[in-house]
């Protein structure tokens, strides 16, 4: 079944091709309202037509999430072209790997934004599972995923991509309540709404989900079998207030997951059934736009972020402050200049659990200056150039360039040529972690030791994109080539302690084909096909174990006036073997073979609410992994064993949405 999945994807797509024919209409005939549907803000920090944005950007609207269903942000993001969602035995459900880039279980190569502003944490740079699992989906207006480097405008972590969570305003956020129940002991609820009081807009969304979980069964690094239920418990709240040009936002996320443990071993304390990992994220942000004169405005932003992470060995925390000022100048339709600065205050540390605290209390800061200019040489030709200079107490000074050309060479077709560089600073775990393990006689038998002298990781990427766009349909082919250097990795020192060092270079190349097609007025087809290859400078292929092929296809159709069906299928190719990085790893579990995930959502709006529900109520039946695939992923954290189980089997959920307006 899985082996022939690409054939079935092609067959479905070809069978639907005749339905794609539609009356031709140029994008130049679109109204201002229709043009706003294709505008993006992530690439340049201001709204612009996606055709001329200097990044390869995928847009996931709230309507897209509603069409195909999702329990959380992670499931929604899995449908984005080129994105492979994964984790480890230590951080389950924690990593968005873009374009094949997956080197560690910390999610520190993709920058998460909320309304264009970073939500970093300086302890590891990537304990993000509370965001992926607890962020309230009802708060979202859309998600923009920019593939490729974005450090010139956003700084550290905008390395292989950016995920921008753009929230709905009070008038757009749905006034509704949702209840959910399903297999595996799943229970969930959500509530959202907003209102206007003169010039004051208030909106909020809360989402909770709890699940006993699926059976995680595996052999550990001692070849010992074990089994636990992989459950989770998530609660998220987003609220915002807007008054004139001011915006105040608050985000509170709390997520707990069962996990195998700090190492791949069933033995040791506490017992496996008592092990879990908990992450908390808070984000408080104040922003304002200052209109200064015709074509001049200043965007000002200040935020405070909190991260707390807890597991049985120790607890970790980070407190991050950020101030950003971005000055815009638009002297005419042909030009847009922006210049800005950002100051990032980092405070992190740890406290003891079963083990002593491994990271001392530390405070650092980092400053960045950036400049970007956009010039429409012709109405169909835009040039972009940008530069960022950054410096910090660690990592020294770095200057990064960006350049892009966007050419609309026909009414419905164009190309973009882009080059950008980015960096990823070393975080507290890598610079300050220190645990030395000793034998009873005092000799050292192992441990982990940070390195304050680590250089930032660097990436350089060139993209060529060809696109066609007309009457609501869009097709884009992007070719990319990247080189990573100064990779932060771990090596065992002569005293048997593992040290963090800069070592090695990695090269990626690939192609991304993605598209959206309206099938008449009531149906939609969306899909993507991604191929990537990667190689270490020493000749090792598939050094990053992300599958080389990702195929994704979604179809939503009406079955009756009040009944709609959304189907989404993903074919995930075979992942690379972790033996490429650790030849002595134990092959004790099934390989990370190819698999096909099929999800479906059936939505029914009963007429007049069947007489017992409010008018406009909706019932939804959502099914995940309907083919019952047994999914394993490479064990990237300790690399002592080949794979671990990655997700639940077939599961069904029944939801009820109740309008409150």
pLDDT tens, residue by residue, 464-518 = 999 999 888 999 999 999 999 999 998 888 888 889 999 889 999 999 999 999 9
The answer to whether residue 616 scores a pLDDT higher than 90 is: no
Tokens 């539609």 sit on residue? 22
Give pLDDT, residue 609: 67
| C-alpha torsion angle, residues 90, 268, 255, 553 (rounded to 10) | 40
Q: Please determine, for residue 439, whether its predicted confidence score (pLDDT) is greater than 90.
A: no
Report which of 436, 347, 389 is spatially closest to residue 122, judged by C-alpha positions: 347
In angstroms, the Cα distances linking 71 to 165, 578, 586 are 16, 30, 34
Burial of residue 177, with CB atoms counted within 10 A of its CB: 0-12 exposed, 13-18 middle, 19 or more buried: middle
Q: Does 497 or 129 have the greater pLDDT score?
A: 129
Percent of the chain scoring above 70 in pLDDT: 94
The residues near 311 (Cβ < 8 Å, ≥ 6 apart) are 259, 262, 275, 276, 277, 278, 353
Q: Contact, 440 vs 393, CB < 8 A?
A: no
**b/e string for 118-136 if b means 16 or more Cβ within 10 A?**
bbbbbbbbbbbbbbbbbbb
- Burial (CB < 10 A; 0-12, 13-18, 19+), residue 521, is exposed
Question: pTM to 2 decimals?
Answer: 0.93
Taking the CB of residue 611, how many other CB atoms lie within 10 A of it? 7
Which pLDDT score is estimated for 224? 96
CB burial string 148-169: b at 16+ within 10 A, e below: bbbbbbbbbbbbbbbbbbbbbe
pLDDT band for position 14 (cuts 50, 70, 90): very low
How much is the pLDDT for 38?
66
Residue 363: count other Cβ atoms within 10 Å of its Cβ.
Answer: 12
**Residue 392 binned pLDDT confidence (cut-offs 50, 70, 90):** confident
All structural domains of the chain: 5-659 (2.40.170.20)
Residue from 518, 509, 161, 119 nearest 280 by CA:
119
Residue 277: burial class (beta carbons within 10 Å; 0-12, 13-18, 19+): buried
Question: Using one digit for the tens of pLDDT, what is the confidence trace for 274-314?
Answer: 999 999 999 999 999 999 999 999 999 999 999 999 988 99
pLDDT in tens, 33-65: 444 446 999 999 999 999 999 999 999 999 999
Q: What is the pLDDT of residue 10?
A: 36
């Amino acid at each position: 079944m899985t082996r022939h999945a690409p054939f079935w994807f092609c067959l479905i797509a070809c069978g639907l091709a005749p339905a794609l024919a539609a009356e031709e209409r140029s994008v130049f005939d679109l109204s201002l309202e229709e043009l706003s549907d294709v505008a993006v803000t992530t690439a340049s920090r201001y709204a612009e037509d996606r055709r001329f944005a200097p990044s390869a950007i995928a847009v996931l609207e709230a309507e897209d999430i509603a069409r195909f269903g999702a329990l959380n942000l992670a499931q929604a993001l899995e449908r984005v072209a080129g994105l492979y969602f994964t984790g480890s035995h230590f951080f389950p459900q924690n990593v968005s790997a873009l374009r094949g880039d997956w080197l560690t279980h910390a999610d520190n190569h993709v920058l998460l934004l909320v309304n264009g502003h970073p939500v970093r944490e300086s302890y590891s740079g990537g304990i993000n599972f509370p965001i992926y699992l607890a962020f309230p989906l009802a708060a979202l207006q859309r998600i923009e995923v920019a593939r490729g480097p974005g450090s010139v405008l956003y700084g550290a972590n905008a390395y292989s991509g950016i995920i921008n969570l753009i929230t709905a305003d009070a008038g757009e956020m749905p006034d509704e309540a949702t209840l959910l129940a399903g297999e595996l002991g799943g229970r969930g609820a959500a509530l959202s709404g907003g209102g206007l009081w003169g010039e004051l807009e208030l909106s909020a969304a809360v989402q909770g989900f709890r699940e006993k979980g699926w059976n995680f069964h595996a052999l550990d690094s001692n070849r010992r079998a074990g089994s636990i239920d992989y459950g989770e418990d998530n609660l998220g709240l987003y609220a915002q207030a807007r008054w004139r040009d001011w915006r105040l936002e608050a985000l509170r996320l709390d997520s707990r997951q069962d996990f195998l443990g700090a190492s791949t071993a069933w033995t040791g304390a506490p017992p496996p059934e008592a092990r879990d990992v908990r992450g908390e994220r808070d984000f408080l942000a104040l922003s304002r736009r200052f209109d200064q004169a015709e074509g001049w405005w200043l965007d000002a932003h200040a935020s405070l972020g909190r991260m707390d992470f807890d597991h049985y060995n120790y607890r970790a925390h980070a407190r991050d402050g950020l101030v950003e000022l971005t000055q815009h100048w638009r002297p005419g339709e042909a030009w847009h200049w922006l210049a800005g600065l950002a100051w990032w205050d980092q405070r992190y540390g740890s406290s003891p659990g079963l083990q002593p605290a491994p990271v001392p209390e530390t405070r650092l800061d980092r400053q960045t200056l950036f400049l970007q200019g956009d010039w429409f040489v012709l109405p169909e030709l835009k040039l972009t150039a940008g530069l960022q200079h950054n410096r910090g107490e660690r990592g020294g000074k770095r200057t990064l360039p960006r350049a892009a050309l966007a050419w609309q060479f026909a009414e419905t077709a164009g190309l973009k040529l882009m080059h950008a560089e980015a960096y990823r600073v070393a975080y507290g775990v890598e610079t300050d972690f220190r645990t030395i393990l000793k034998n009873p006689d005092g000799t050292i038998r192992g441990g982990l030791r940070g390195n304050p002298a680590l250089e930032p990781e660097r990436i350089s990427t060139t993209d060529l994109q060809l696109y066609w766009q007309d009457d609501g349909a869009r097709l884009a082919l992007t070719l990319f080539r990247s080189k990573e250097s100064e990779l932060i990795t771990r090596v065992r020192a002569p005293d048997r302690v593992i040290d963090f060092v800069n070592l090695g270079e990695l090269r990626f190349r690939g192609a991304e084909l993605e598209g959206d097609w309206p099938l008449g007025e009531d149906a939609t087809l969306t899909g993507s096909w991604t191929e990537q290859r990667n190689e270490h400078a020493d000749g090792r292929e598939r050094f990053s174990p992300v599958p080389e092929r990702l195929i994704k296809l979604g179809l939503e159709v009406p079955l009756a006036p009040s009944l709609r069906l959304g189907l989404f299928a993903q074919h995930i190719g075979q992942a690379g073997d972790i033996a490429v990085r650790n030849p002595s790893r134990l092959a004790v579990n099934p390989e990370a073979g190819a698999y096909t995930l099929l999800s479906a959502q059936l939505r029914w709006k009963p007429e007049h609410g069947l007489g017992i529900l409010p008018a406009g109520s909706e019932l939804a039946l959502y099914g995940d992994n309907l083919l019952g695939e047994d999914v394993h992923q490479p064990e990237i954290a300790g690399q002592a064993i080949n794979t671990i189980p990655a997700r639940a089997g077939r599961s069904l959920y029944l939801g009820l949405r109740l309008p409150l307006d």
